[in-house]
Amino acid sequence: MVIYLIIAWRILSLVTWGRDCPDLPCDVVFDIEEWQAAWIVAHRSPPPDAPPPLGQMVRLIAGFGGFLGRKHDGHPGPKAIWEGMQKVRAFAIALEAGRAAYFNDG
């Protein structure tokens, strides 16, 4: 039960911070592996050197959860961010594993 409260708190904070503080760098709330993996999957290109803005990353991650981001859609909600974060966590695990395999092959 407690783990669900922690997850709900993180999702709600992403909803709120993404809307109220969109210009913060995204590494304030995302691990480097999370935002880089999300960027790589979404853009099919290497991530930028500097973390993108939080508002941009929240919308990108919500897109993995079904948020369309049309002109009049408003801000992403908790369901889209939750579903997107599940996918992003899997992307981050894959990125970490790929980096470990690449650097351990020598």
Q: Give me the percent of the chain exceeding a pLDDT of 90.
A: 85
Mean pLDDT of 16-37: 95
Which tokens go with 56?
Answer: 């941009």
DSSP 22: T
What domains appear along the chain, each with residue ranges and CATH number? 2-104 (1.10.740.10)
pLDDT in the model for residue 18: 94
pLDDT in the model for residue 101: 87
Is the separation of the CB atoms in 82 and 12 below 8 Å? no
List the Cα angle 16/39/51 in 5-degree steps. 65
Examine the pLDDT at 78 and tell me if it is beyond 90: yes
Confidence of residue 58 (pLDDT cuts 50, 70, 90): very high
Of 24, 25, 23, 28, the closest CA to residue 10 belongs to 28
